[in-house]
Amino acid sequence: MAKVLNVGMIGYGFMGRAHSNAYCQVNHFFDVPFRPVLKAACARNVEKLKAFAEQWGYESLETDWRKLIERPDIDLVDICVPNNLHAEIAIAAAEAGKMVLCEKPLAMNAAEGQRMVEAVEKAGVANMVWYNYRRVPAVTLAKRLIEEGRLGRIFHYRAQFLQDWTINPEVPQGGTALWRLDVQAAGSGVTGDLLAHCIDTALWLNGPITRVSAMTETFVKQRKHTLTGKVEPVGIDDACAFLARFANGSLAVFESTRYARGHKALYTFEINGEHASIAWNLHDLHRLSYFDHRDEGKLRGWRSIHVTDHGGEHPYMDKWWVPGLQIGYEHTFIHQVADFLTALGKGELAEPTFRTALQTQKVCDAVLESGRTGQWVEVG
């Protein structure tokens, strides 16, 4: 019988919904030792908070996160607020002895992230960062193929995260909905928001990045600020591309932008190894492309693997429907919660921990520095 795990949710936005859904759904599909209970939701805007809590069935409300983390009936604090609030809340929650799950990116920068790591490790509390794309079944399958050594020596890694939603210069910055365009709240633009995902996956699949050379651009130089009502300079990077070298000798190209007309959330990656290559993209997340040079000559070709098959062959998919029926975006969060709860039952930590996620932060810092200086920068 699954034990209750009381969740205190801070934030009610896009991620607040995605995580709440994961807590609601995990026990319907996964046999895990804990049952998350939506104990309390916390935000400053009471009206919106109430609507959110009612929709998801949160049992109680808090408008001050400090009160939430002090509540003895809360086991786990989930941080779904803008990046500039992550560190303070996470450190306080850890000091209050709560498990801490934090939305990505971990922090505004590596220094902040370092303090967060120290806090959760000192407190000895379970912790995890929501780099959810690791749990797309096709991506998890890619990881397994790499671990099995199927690719051989890796020569190339390339990743993109392309969107187009800020091309219109009338889109304002700041406020609840658009804090991702406000450098004060977000810390950076596509680097922390989108490339962070690409980097997390890359470090997981291909090991450490040692150095980077980046180029950043802000196409729309000023936007009206939602909070001040004034047109203000835009401080974030609208686009960022960087060259990188991995410790294993492979070369990489990363690129992200919110100005790629026609792409909504096109996260792609491709890995070229000595024997085989792998490619994936988020717009068809249920498929993995795979090419194996060891296949018989005349039959070599890129395979489009519909990652929906059962029998434990395709990660997570034995928990869902029948072969051929695809799952969607939000399932990645359910998988992550399932893995977190399973690990918790064993006294272990699920990946990526704060410590793991700090490495992504360090690459982001190096990328942003290189973008400013035009020099190759070693990753700290």
Per CB under 8 A, the list member of 43, 194, 276, 367 interacting with a copy of itself is 276
Size of the site for a copy of itself (CB under 8 A): 91
Among positions 286-315, residues that touch a copy of itself (CB under 8 A) are 286, 288, 290-293, 295, 297-306, 308-309, 311, 313-314
Q: Is 221 in the site for a copy of itself (CB under 8 A)?
A: no
User: Of the listed pieces 180-188, 192-200, 279-287, 344-352, which binds a copy of itself according to CB under 8 A?
Assistant: 279-287
In whole angstroms, the minimum distance from the beta carbon of 340 to a copy of itself comes to 19
Per CB under 8 A, the list member of 70, 232, 284, 369 interacting with a copy of itself is 284
Q: How far apart are CA 209 and CA 187, in angstroms?
A: 21
- Burial class of 233 by CB neighbour count within 10 A (0 to 12, 13 to 18, 19+): exposed
Estimate the crossing angle of helix 14-29 against helix 46-56, to 10 degrees: 20
Three-class SS state of 208: coil
In whole angstroms, the minimum distance from the beta carbon of 273 to a copy of itself comes to 6
Q: Is 48 in the site for a copy of itself (CB under 8 A)?
A: no
Q: How far apart are CA 9 and CA 29, in angstroms?
A: 22
By C-beta, is 27 or 84 nearer to a copy of itself? 27
Closest CA to 186 of 238, 127, 116: 238
Three-class SS state of 101: strand
| Helix segments in 148-254, DSSP class H | 175-178, 183-186, 190, 196-206
Q: Is 95 in the site for a copy of itself (CB under 8 A)?
A: no
Q: Is 262 in the site for a copy of itself (CB under 8 A)?
A: yes
Among positions 16-45, residues that touch a copy of itself (CB under 8 A) are 18, 20-21, 24-25, 27-28
In whole angstroms, the minimum distance from the beta carbon of 221 to a copy of itself comes to 12
In whole angstroms, the minimum distance from the beta carbon of 31 to a copy of itself comes to 9
Cα distances from 122 to residues 11, 93, 119, 134, 159, in angstroms, run 26, 12, 5, 27, 35
In whole angstroms, the minimum distance from the beta carbon of 194 to a copy of itself comes to 12
Radius of gyration of the chain (CA): 21
